[in-house]
Chains A and B, each alone.
Chain A
Amino acid sequence: MAQIRIKNVAKRFGAYQALHSINLDVADQEFMVLLGASGCGKTTLLRIIAGLETPSEGEVWIGDRRVDHLAPRDRGIAMVFQNYAVFPHLTVFENIAFGLRMAKMDNALVTKRVERTAELMHIEQLLKRYSGELSGGQRQRVAVARALAMEPDVILMDEPLSNLDALLRLEMRAELKGVLAESKTTAIYVTHDQVEAMSLADRISVMHQGRIVQAASPIEVYRNPAARFVASFIGNPPMNFLPATSHGNGQWSVAGQTFNGPATQKPLEFAIRPEDLSPADQGLKATARVVEPLGAHLLVTCDVEGASFRAVLDSDLTVRPGDILTLAPQPDRIRWFDPETTQAVA
Chain B
Amino acid sequence: MTAVTPDVAHADVRKSGRFLFRAAIVFLCAWVLVPIYFLLINTLSSPETVNAFPKSFIPEFDMGSLTFFANFAGMLTALKNSVIVACLTMVLSIAFGAPAGYALSRFDFRGKELFRVLILLTRAFPLPLLALPLAVLFIRTGLDDTLLGLALVHTTLAIPFAVLITFSLFSGIPIELEEAAWTLGCTRFTAFTKVVLPLIAPGIAASAIFAFVISWNEVFAAAVLTIQNRTLPAFLLQSLGTSPLHLKFAGGFILVVPALVFIFAVRKYLFAMWGIANR
Chain A interface: which of B93-101, B124-132, B185-193, B243-251? B185-193
Q: What A residues does B181 contact at CB under 8 A?
A: 87, 98
Within 8 Å by CB of B174, from A71, A83, A146, lies A83
> Would B199 and A78 count as touching, CB distance under 8 A?
no
Assembly CA distance A102 to B187 (angstroms): 10
A346 within 8 A of B: no
Q: What A residues does B198 contact at CB under 8 A?
A: 89
> Would A73 and B176 count as touching, CB distance under 8 A?
no
> Would B182 and A146 count as touching, CB distance under 8 A?
no
A79 within 8 A of B: yes
Chain A, residue nearest B190 (CB): A102
> Would A83 and B183 count as touching, CB distance under 8 A?
no
CB-based A-B contact count at 8 angstroms? 58
A50 within 8 A of B: yes
Instruction: Give the residue among A71, A85, A89, A103 with the most B Cβ atoms within 10 A.
Output: A85
> Would B179 and A52 count as touching, CB distance under 8 A?
yes
Known: A87-B195, A88-B199, A89-B198. A99 touches B177 (CB 8 A): no
Within 8 Å by CB of A81, from B179, B185, B195, lies B179
> Would A77 and B183 count as touching, CB distance under 8 A?
yes
Known: A83-B174, A85-B174, A89-B199. A102 touches B185 (CB 8 A): yes
B34 within 8 A of A: no
Q: What A residues does B199 contact at CB under 8 A?
A: 88-89
Q: What A residues does B184 contact at CB under 8 A?
A: 73, 78, 98-99, 102, 146, 150
Assembly CA distance A51 to B180 (angstroms): 11
A72 within 8 A of B: yes
Chain A, residue nearest B177 (CB): A85
Q: What A residues does B194 contact at CB under 8 A?
A: 98
Assembly CA distance A85 to B180 (angstroms): 7
Q: What B residues does A81 contact at CB under 8 A?
A: 176, 179-180
Majority SS at the chain B contact face: helix
Q: What B residues does A79 contact at CB under 8 A?
A: 179-180, 183
How far apart are B103's CB and chain A's nearest CB, in angstroms?
18
Assembly CA distance A173 to B187 (angstroms): 32
Q: Mark A153-178, 1 if CB is under 8 A from B, else 0.
A: 00010000000000000000000000
Q: Mark A43-56, 1 if CB is under 8 A from B, else 0.
A: 00000001110000
What range describes how many residues of B lie at the interface? Answer: 10 to 19
What range describes how many residues of A lie at the interface? Answer: 20 to 34
Q: What A residues does B176 contact at CB under 8 A?
A: 81-83, 85
How far apart are A110's CB and chain B's nearest CB, in angstroms?
13
How far apart are A109's CB and chain B's nearest CB, in angstroms?
15
Q: What A residues does B177 contact at CB under 8 A?
A: 85, 87
Q: What B residues does A78 contact at CB under 8 A?
A: 183-184
Within 8 Å by CB of B186, from A83, A102, A146, lies A102
Contact residues of A between 67 and 94, Cβ < 8 Å to B? 71-73, 77-79, 81-83, 85, 87-89
> Would A72 and B174 count as touching, CB distance under 8 A?
no
Assembly CA distance A68 to B195 (angstroms): 25
Assembly CA distance A79 to B184 (angstroms): 8
Q: What A residues does B179 contact at CB under 8 A?
A: 50, 52, 72, 79, 81, 85
Assembly CA distance A81 to B190 (angstroms): 20
Contact residues of A between 177 and 230, Cβ < 8 Å to B? none
Assembly CA distance A77 to B177 (angstroms): 16
Chain B, residue nearest A101 (CB): B185
> Would A71 and B187 count as touching, CB distance under 8 A?
yes
How far apart are A91's CB and chain B's nearest CB, in angstroms?
13
Q: What B residues does A103 contact at CB under 8 A?
A: 185
Q: What A residues does B180 contact at CB under 8 A?
A: 79, 81, 85, 87, 146
Assembly CA distance A72 to B178 (angstroms): 11
> Would B185 and A99 count as touching, CB distance under 8 A?
yes
Assembly CA distance A98 to B183 (angstroms): 11
Known: A81-B176, A83-B174. A73 touches B182 (CB 8 A): yes
Listed A/B pairs (16) with beta-carbon separation below 8 Å: A50-B179, A50-B183, A51-B183, A73-B183, A73-B185, A77-B183, A79-B180, A81-B179, A82-B176, A89-B198, A89-B199, A98-B194, A99-B185, A102-B184, A102-B186, A103-B185
Interface residues of B (CB under 8 A from A): 174, 176-177, 179-187, 190, 194-195, 198-199
Q: Which 9 A-B pairs have the closest CB atoms?
A: A102-B185, A99-B184, A85-B180, A85-B176, A72-B182, A79-B183, A73-B185, A89-B198, A72-B183
Beyond the given A51-B183, A83-B174, please list 6 additional residue pairs across the A-B interface where CB-CB is below 8 A: A73-B182, A79-B183, A85-B174, A85-B177, A87-B177, A87-B180
